[in-house]
Amino acid sequence: MSATITVDPTAVIAPIHPWLFGSFVEHLRRCVYDGIYDPGSALSDAEGFRLDVLEAVRGLAPTHLRYPGGNFVSGYHWRDGIGPRDTRPVRYEHAWGATEPNAIGTHEFVGYCRRLDSTPHFCVKCDTGTPEEAANWL
């Protein structure tokens, strides 16, 4: 006995939500610092963002970016990433065992998303703050 399968790539079964094509920014190793953000690099713009990385990410056309992504959010408080950079707290980041200078925060992330024409998707950890606190800020 044999079977035949026919695939019709033009057949639409259901719409695909555009947020399926999103991504996240994780403070793991060089993703953020020396990755998307490297103010000392000749490849960076005046704001410190790497233009080569920006163009590579733009080519992926992410519909939204989640921030912060991955394990980093386990100890992150979103308020640490707002306000002038020089007043933001420097913290020990337990998930990755590194110092977090908070040079990239909420303001910078929103600007990065705008440059990519992506929607910012914020992750708020409720044991380092509350949903009400985040909702009242936005």
pLDDT tens for the 138 residues of the chain, in order: 899 999 898 988 888 888 888 888 887 778 888 899 999 999 999 999 999 999 999 999 999 998 887 777 777 887 888 899 999 999 888 877 888 899 988 889 999 999 999 999 888 776 666 777 767 665
One-letter amino acid of 61: A
Q: Tokens representing 61?
A: 């056309």
Domain boundaries, the chain: 18-137
Question: DSSP letter at 66?
Answer: E
